[in-house]
Amino acid sequence: MRLVWQLLATAPIALIGGRAAMALQENIWLTLLIGLATAALIVPVYRWVVRRTERREVTELAWEGAPAKTGWGTLIGFAMFGFVIVNIAFLGYYTVDGIGDPMGMVGLFGFMAAAAVTEEIMYRGILFRIVEGWTGTWIALVLISLLFGASHLANPNASLWGAIAIAIEAGGMLGAAYIATRNLWLPIGLHFGWNFAASAVFSTEVSGNGTPKGLLDAATSGPSPITGGEFGPEGSLYTVVFGLLLTVIFLWVAKRRGNLVPRRRADRAEPAATLPA
C-alpha cells in the first residue's frame, strides 16, 4: 500500500503543476513561478509521505549535499545533450541562424525544473525504488524504464520509436544514476540539465511536446535516425548511444559500491511498509 499512498500524495502535484505551466506557457514569469512552486512543493510532500508510510529517514532526498549532487547532474546532462547536438551539427543537420528568444529561457527553466523533480520523484523515488524491493535491480530497471518511455506516447508529436528511445537512453540512464548513488538529486540534475539544454539553449523539440524556442534561433532537419524527427533529438541514435554509455558507467559504479539488489535479496532491500495512522 505504500506505493499507492505515495503516488496519491505526489501525483496530483505533478499533474496540476504540469498542466498549469503548460496552459500558461505564453506568460514566462507565471510559467517560471508555477514550475518552481511545483518542484518546491513535491519534495517536502514526498519526504512526509515516505516517513509516514515507511517509518524511516528519507535518505534518498536528504538535504545534505543536495546542491552539489544536483549541480553535477545538471552539468553531466547538459554536456551529454551538447555532445548530441555537436554530432548532429557536424553532419549539417542542425544549424543556427542567430539568437532566438533569450527570455523564453526563463519560462523553460521553471517548466523543466518541475518536470525533472516531479518525474524523478515519481519514477525513480517511488516506482523504481519500491519495485526494486520486490524484484531486484535488473527487473525493476527494465520495467520502470519501459513505463517511463511509454508515458511519453501521450505527447503531441510522439512516436513509438521515440518512446523506445526514451526508455533506453533516459529511463536506463536516470535509473542507473539513482542506483549508483542511492540518491535522487543526481538524476534530478541530469534530467533538468538534459531538458534545459535541449529546449532553453539549443531550441530543439523535447520529447515531441511542441517545445517553445529558447536562446538560439536554430533548426534541425535531416534523416530521423540522426535528428529524431518531430520527436526531437531524444529520438536520435546519437542520444541512445550516449545514454547507454552513461547507463553502463553508472551501473559499473553501482556494482563497485555494492548497490545492485539481486532477486534473492529483494524482499530485504526495503523497509516493511506501514500504513499511515
Closest CA to 269 of 155, 148, 130: 130
φ, ψ dihedrals at 218, nearest 5°: -130, 160
State how far the alpha carbon of 42 is from the alpha carbons of 10, 76, 92, 109, 170, in Å.
6, 24, 41, 17, 21
Cα 89 to Cα 63: distance, rounded to the nearest angstrom: 39
The residue ranges of every structural domain in the chain are: 2-268
Q: What is the pLDDT of residues 7-41, one digit of tens each?
A: 999 999 999 998 898 888 788 999 999 999 999 99
Q: What is the pLDDT of residue 52?
A: 94
- Please, what sign has the CA dihedral across residues 139, 142, 145, 149? negative
For the entire predicted model, the pTM comes to: 0.91
- Stated length of the chain: 277
Cell of 206: 523535447
Q: What is the pLDDT of residue 154?
A: 84
φ, ψ dihedrals at 216, nearest 5°: -95, 140
Helix (H, G, I), strand (E, B) or coil at 22: helix
Q: What is the pLDDT of residues 210-234, one digit of tens each?
A: 777 888 988 899 899 999 988 989 9
Q: Which band of pLDDT confidence, cut at 50, 70 and 90, is reported for residue 164?
A: very high
Report the DSSP beta bridge partners of residue 95.
219
Closest CA to 35 of 17, 48, 49: 17
